[in-house]
Amino acid sequence: MNVRHHATGFSNRLFAEQALSRSAGAPLIGGNAVELLIDARAHFDAWLAAIASARRHVFLENYIVRNDAIGHAFLDALVERAKAGVFVAVIADWAGCLGQSRSSFWNPLRQAGGQVRIYNPPSLGSSFGWVSRDHRKVLVVDGETGFLSGVCVSEKWLGDPGRDVPPWRDTGVMLRGPAVAEIELAFADSWRETGEPLPEDDRVKPLVELPEAGNVSLRVIATHPSTAGMYRLDQMVAAMATQTLWLTDAYFVGVAPYVQALSAAARDGVDVRLLVPGSSDIPVVASMSRSGYRPLLQAGIRVFEWNGSMLHAKTAVADGRWARVGSSNLNIASWLSNREIDVAIEDAGFAGQLADQYEQDLENATEILLRGRHRHSGKERMRSRSPRPPRPRRTGGSSGRAAAGALRIANTVGAAITQHRVLGEAETGPILAGAATALVLTVIAVVWPAAIAWPLALIGAWFAVNLAVNWWTLRRRRKHRTAGFENTSSSE
């Protein structure tokens, strides 16, 4: 009986490993050492120390590199290594760096011999190309040490002590061992996507064999547009969790299949929790996220809002054995449109660390609750379990913000008395905003038709030019192929 039970357990583990490998499109790699990094200061210190130790090459890929004190600290470190003969290659995203840094920011590195590429700037022949973004946050040094994270190269992640704005809450990992080679392959793929592949250079060649650095098994999941590997893995983990599934996400916008997967897990007795920002750097996304609270809460999923300045981490931990950290958010853009990279770690020790951190984070979060139905209205209303601490002040101001601030103060006082704070209906905000936008566009179209016609004409012209360029490019390629075929036939 024991032998049969052992065989069944072994078979189940093999089945689970096969399912995760196929869903993610990434093999399980053993022999790694993993260190958890919490918040930007720990990241920046570790990243800069690793760059300073580089002897062969440095690969940096990040969504945002900002022209500020942190950006210049990294620029100076990269320039110093390039001058020392280290091969330095940087990929930054065009949209992410828009308004953050210009191409001229990188001139000192280029002059020192480093190479810099910008991912997917607008170009003719690519009508929707600008939609895809390189959202990865990766650093690899000498093929021996790798970093994955949600942190961008910007001092914004450090907060603003002068204005009493705390640091952003974010998570990443430092890796050593065979898995680092997979991160390098992912960087090489991004580099090839932006131009010529990495050169045949002894400084760039991967190490023949990376020695084992620990006993942690993990998967490096590097996705690019239209692959959906991370989405399949997130769905699979939601289906396989048996006890707990704790999620942290910066820009959660639940699509129906994933919400159904989480709801099914919760109804099956799994402790499903979702931690999201209380105040976001992208308010529209925060509103969309809140509009989806109700079905989650009705299914028994516990939802928490972070009380700090910004929660930017993207993590998951399940059953105290499996954990995910990286750049992917739980939304369509990350799952289907962007280049993302995450690490899925199958190790009880690391999962325990991440679970402990999750519980610490909940101490600075407000839980959202559904109140029972009212006898008069027959509707459920949402409320928070505890009062929310004062939020960091935003720069600027208006009468609308002042009114909102007064309302928050009133809610906080009421919560202090009742231990509960009733929230407004989650769906009304987006609906009202949509109605107001539609009304404004209607008025503009009636009063100033040209204000609508000109943008539509420009959009039409953009698509016309891009489709024409596509046609011309395909025509030239076909001619070249035909000419090459004829030359081959004549030589035979």
**Would the pLDDT of 202 be above 70?**
yes
User: What local confidence, expressed as pLDDT, does residue 84 receive?
Assistant: 98
- Report the chain's mean pLDDT, rounded to a whole number: 83
Structure tokens at 315: 């993590």
Helix 39-52 to helix 69-83 angle (10° resolution) is 20
Q: Of residues 492 and 117, which shows the higher confidence score?
A: 117
The answer to whether residues 135 and 339 touch, using CB atoms and an 8 Å cutoff, is: yes
Q: 240 falls in which pLDDT band (50, 70, 90)?
A: very high
The answer to whether residues 317 and 244 touch, using CB atoms and an 8 Å cutoff, is: yes
> Residue 412 and residue 298: Cα distance in Å, rounded?
25
Residue 359, CA distances (Å) to 38, 84, 379 in order: 14, 45, 32
User: What local confidence, expressed as pLDDT, does residue 441 receive?
Assistant: 67
> Residue 411 and residue 433: Cα distance in Å, rounded?
22
> Residue 343 and residue 18: Cα distance in Å, rounded?
17
Query: Around Cβ 176, how many Cβ atoms within 10 Å?
Result: 20
| Mean pLDDT calculated for residue range 125-129 | 59
Q: How many residues does the chain have?
A: 492
Residue 195, CA distances (Å) to 86, 156, 192 in order: 21, 30, 5
**Would the pLDDT of 391 be above 70?**
no
Phi, psi for residue 322 in degrees, rounded to 5: -130, 140
Please give the radius of gyration of the chain, using alpha carbons only, rounded to the nearest integer. Answer: 25
The answer to whether residues 150 and 312 touch, using CB atoms and an 8 Å cutoff, is: yes
Q: 235-258: b or e for each residue (b if 16 or more CB lie within 10 Å)?
A: bbbbebbeebbbbbbbbbbbeeeb
Structure letter (DSSP) for residue 337: I
Least confidently predicted of 9-18, 44-53, 89-98: 9-18
The answer to whether residues 168 and 159 touch, using CB atoms and an 8 Å cutoff, is: yes
| Mean pLDDT calculated for residue range 335-344 | 95
Structure tokens at 248: 């942290």
Question: What single-letter amino acid sits at 254?
Answer: G
Structure tokens at 163: 């204005």
Closest CA to 329 of 249, 231, 236: 249
Q: 429 falls in which pLDDT band (50, 70, 90)?
A: low
Local structure of 228: helix, strand or coil: coil
Percent of the chain with pLDDT over 90: 61
The answer to whether residues 134 and 62 touch, using CB atoms and an 8 Å cutoff, is: no
Q: 439 falls in which pLDDT band (50, 70, 90)?
A: confident
| Mean pLDDT calculated for residue range 142-171 | 96
Across 315-324, 394-403, 432-441, 482-491, which has the greatest mean pLDDT? 315-324
User: What local confidence, expressed as pLDDT, does residue 27 receive?
Assistant: 92
Q: pTM of the full predicted structure?
A: 0.80
> Residue 393 and residue 395: Cα distance in Å, rounded?
7
Local structure of 427: helix, strand or coil: coil
Residues 6+ apart with CB under 8 A from 357: 36, 38, 171
User: What local confidence, expressed as pLDDT, does residue 283 receive?
Assistant: 86
Residues 6+ apart with CB under 8 A from 252: 274, 276, 289, 292, 329, 330, 331
Residues forming beta bridges with residue 301, ordered by sequence position? none
